[in-house]
Structure 1
Amino acid sequence: MSQSLGPRGPSFRSLRRSVDVQGAAEHTTIELTGRDRPGLLSEIFAVLAGLKCNVVASEIWTHNSRMASVVYITDEATGLPIDDPDRLTKIKQLLLCILIGDRDKRSANTAVSVGSTHKERRLHQMMYADRDYDVDDADCSSASERNRFVTVENCVDKGYTVVNLRCPDRPKLIFDTVCTLTDMQYVVYHAIIIAEGPEACQEYFIRHMDGSPINSEAERQRLINCLEAAIRRRTSEGVRLELCSEDRVGLLSDVTRIFRENGLSVTRAEVTTRGSQAVNVFFVTDSSGHPVKSETIEAVRKEIGLTILNVNDDAYSKSPPQERGLLSLGNIFRSKSEKFLYHLGLIKSNS
């Protein structure tokens, strides 16, 4: 039996900035993509609070000056999903104005989602569609450092393209790379995954869906850039701040406003609600992307509450992975994490 990646996920045209809204059984989902800047998250949550929307969960990623976010909201008064078309249109318009700011006005776009998928998979798709993998000319000097993670070569005698990836190990690394290969419409015929010690090694033998290998230097470089981006999107830069308190309407708006007023920029965030408790994680830098001074962090903690906001300096990306050892794609169903990929539609069985 062989395993290959199936293009079950929807394809998405490139949207340089977008606001998507969809209704769900328990909440309304808002999807945001656009240019990242200091204070953006504060403005987004302030708009939602002003529109009487309660944020029940959210995840925000930033990479290469781009931002993508999935936000789950309910009506502040009823706790039910928001499904009024006029109200949804207003929410989309106001959030789009925030995302546009005073730059890149021609790239603004809005759309309504017609499907649902796993949140982290969707974030990969959104950032891929937003072309966060594009390397600016100003970044060319550091391109060689980025590209040390990934090499792509053709195996002429077998008709495969061989992708080798070597980088620091972390949780969900396989998920991130497999998502990228799937969304780029490649089929994986063989793979070896080694996760021993602090470094991970992945080798994929891939072809196009028509059975052909990569046949141009431009495509080879694009694949390298896309895999590099997939590796780095989840990398958490900055100080990890953990907030746990009684949930209330406007909590996120207040917390992120305090961050903004103290010159903090959020590079990644995970927002969850467990019963009546808000359990949130923020990674913050200063407005220039540099490490935050300890006195600034303490000032923010005092304003929010020393018992509510705690600092965890252990980098999120260094958490021990749940799965270690040697895996082959032929045994992928034996691993819990790869079973998860199968249920997401990333992997299918071919006889």
Structure 2
Amino acid sequence: MAVAMGSASVHLAVQICCNNEFKANAAFVTGSPRFGNKPLCCPARRRFSSSATRLIPRASSATAVEDGSNGDTDTIPTPKVIIDLDSDPDATVVEITFGDRLGALLDTMNALKNLGLNVVKANVFLDSSGKHNKFAITKADTGRKVDDPEVLEAIRLTVINNLLQYHPESSSQLAMGVAFGVDPPKQQVDVDIATHISVFDDGPDRSLLLVETADRPGLLVDLVKIITDINVNVESGEFDTEGLLAKAKFHVSYKGKAIIKPLQQVLANSLRYFLRRPTTEEASF
């Protein structure tokens, strides 16, 4: 994934094993659909509230950064946050990219621990595309990877909130700047234009669902809720936050098989309908 800077890329690896145990927050781990080998379907008409994800652990310092950078540059990089359930069978991988700014590695790890999670490994590397932080995360109480959508959304918002504590100048570039930043985005994304949904066959036993839409708090929870409401299982996936947009890649199936074409159309139409109307039954904010 690293791209060489000139003749060589700069690579710094840090591996951290956390032995302390933390109790998981029950607000995040009960009654939610889950990714995994045996995903659970949501009952009909059930609506997940993502209000629990508003309680975000904050960075302990709003000004210090690990490399001493004060962030005064002409070009403000657009932060990227990737939540990956595919690349590691034993842990959920969270990757943060933010130009060449090192941000707050240890502080972000502490904030994740406050969610009842263990950071079992952390890697930091710098290449021509910027600086990357990678965290391998498991549940503190079970040692297993995180697959609960509400916890995954809490992780996403925690990381973004901490990032903006250290780099408030970037809040205008993120949709989450409205919730966490000092400056909200100067323009709003037209959801109808920004939303793109595709479904492809990915072998006989599953399909690949790609979703791109305007980002907002609670989006990951709502996407899984919409998918499972029509009895489609979410097995694994990746959720990317970049600027004003969110991009999701889900491996999905229906009764252990790839989704047939008529159901693919139903799935795409359902997602388009609800993404354009995020406050149909309960607010997702």
TM-score normalised over the length of structure 1: 0.27
Bigger Rg, structure 1 or 2: 1
TM-score normalised over the length of structure 2: 0.32
- Which has more strand, going by share of residues? 1
- Which has more helix, going by share of residues? 1
